[in-house]
């Protein structure tokens, strides 16, 4: 997969992609991430990428010319062109999976009040927001989207499978423990040390259900629950009363 990112602050994105897993994915040739400074496509002495909005008002708007020329130069015709904007549809795992199937992505990081509407109409295929809070620009949102997409590319994960994530994806994780068995007086639940794999699996499932019930009841409503799951939840509801 090739991912182009158009931004006026490429420096913000250098760090996240030159560390750890995403770095290794690039070294292994799973993905090529290219950061392009939008300003290099701006004309004139001042290399201006933004201008005041027609009709007046506060703030600035990205001019169309640098964006059109940049997208054309990066062969944006071949790519799915995505604008990161607070007005976009909210990013989630299903959209990450959808984007992971693309050959080529081109992400445009918004800034200021936004982009000239003609960019949206003629260049952009999708508009994505990463959630209901205000960032100062699309760069960190692009990093989030890229991280979520790249880890889904075939060959990225060695052991754990992402198929399992989608299977149990509607529940939160159970609590995890590692050595020592007792730390500062806090013991690991006995069942985890029992060696009884059936009992351990049951405990974990029940703990997952409990966490989800306590913290994300919205997810529980979507989950596929077995009769055993329902029994576990019934016990929790009774304890709560």
Answer for which of 141, 146, 149, 206 binds ligand 9D3 (CB under 6 A) is 141
Shortest distance, CB of residue 25 to ligand 9D3, whole angstroms? 23
Among 11, 131, 169, 175, binds ligand 9D3 (CB under 6 A): 131
Interface with ligand 9D3, residue 129, by CB under 6 A: yes
Angstrom distance (rounded) from CA 110 to CA 137: 6
DSSP output for 49-95: -EEPPTT--SS-EE-HHHHHHHHHHTTGGGSEEEEEEEEEEEP-HHH
Question: Which residues lie below 8 Å from residue 21, measured CB to CB, with a gap of 6+?
Answer: 150, 151, 156
Residues 64, 50: Cα–Cα separation, whole Å: 9
Beta strands in 80-162 (DSSP E): 80-90, 104-109, 126-129
Six token digits for residue 125: 């295929």
Query: Nearest Cα to 76, choosing from 104, 54, 39?
Result: 104
Of residues 37-76, those binding ligand 9D3 (CB under 6 A): none
Instruction: Tell which one of 16, 66, 76, 110 touches ligand 9D3 (CB under 6 A).
Output: 110
Interface residue with ligand 9D3, options 86, 153, 216, 223 (CB under 6 A)? 86
Tokens representing residue 77 in the block: 């015709």
With contact defined as beta carbons under 8 Å apart, do 206 and 228 qualify? Answer: no
Contact call for residues 17 and 120 (beta carbons, < 8 A)? no
Site size toward ligand 9D3, by CB under 6 A? 15
Q: Which of 45, 134, 155, 197 is close enough to bind ligand 9D3 by CB under 6 A?
A: 134
- Contact characters 5-24, ligand 9D3, x per CB under 6 A: --------------------
Considering the rule CB under 6 A, would residue 135 count as an interface residue with ligand 9D3?
Answer: yes
Comparing CB distances to ligand 9D3, the nearer of 76 and 138 is 138
Residue 85 or 207 with smaller CB distance to ligand 9D3: 85
Which residue stretch of 16-24, 128-136, 149-157, 202-210 sits at the interface with ligand 9D3 (rule: CB under 6 A)? 128-136
**Candidate list 9, 68, 69, 137; residue touching ligand 9D3; CB under 6 A:** 137
- Between 70 and 83, whose beta carbon lies closer to ligand 9D3? 83
Among 71, 138, 149, 206, binds ligand 9D3 (CB under 6 A): 138
The answer to whether the CB of 113 falls within 8 A of the CB of 61 is yes
Task: State residue 215 phi and psi, 5-degree precision.
Answer: -105, -35
Which parts of this chain interact with ligand 9D3 (CB under 6 A)?
Answer: 84-86, 110, 113, 129-131, 133-138, 141
């Amino acid at each position: 997969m090739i991912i182009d990112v158009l931004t006026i602050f490429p420096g913000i994105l250098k760090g996240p992609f030159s560390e750890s897993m995403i770095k290794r994915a690039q070294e292994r040739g799973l993905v090529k991430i290219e950061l392009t400074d939008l300003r290099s496509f701006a004309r004139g002495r001042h290399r201006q990428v933004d201008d005041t909005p027609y009709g007046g008002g506060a703030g600035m708007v990205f001019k169309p010319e640098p964006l059109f020329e940049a997208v054309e130069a990066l062969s944006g015709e071949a790519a799915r062109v995505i604008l990161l904007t607070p007005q976009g549809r909210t990013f989630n795992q299903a959209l990450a999976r959808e984007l992971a199937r693309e050959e080529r992505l081109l992400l445009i990081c918004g800034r200021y009040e936004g982009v000239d509407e003609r960019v949206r109409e003629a260049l952009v295929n999708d508009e994505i927001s990463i959630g209901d809070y205000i960032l100062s620009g699309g760069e960190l949102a692009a990093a989030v989207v890229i991280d979520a997409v790249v880890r889904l590319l075939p060959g990225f994960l060695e052991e754990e499978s992402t198929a399992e994530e989608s299977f149990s994806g509607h529940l939160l994780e159970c609590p995890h423990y590692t050595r020592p068995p007792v730390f500062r007086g806090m013991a690991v639940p006995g069942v985890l040390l029992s060696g009884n794999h059936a009992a351990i699996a049951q405990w974990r499932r029940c703990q997952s259900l409990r966490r989800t019930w306590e913290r994300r009841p919205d997810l529980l409503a979507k989950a596929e629950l077995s009769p055993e799951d329902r029994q576990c939840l019934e016990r929790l509801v009774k304890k709560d009363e």
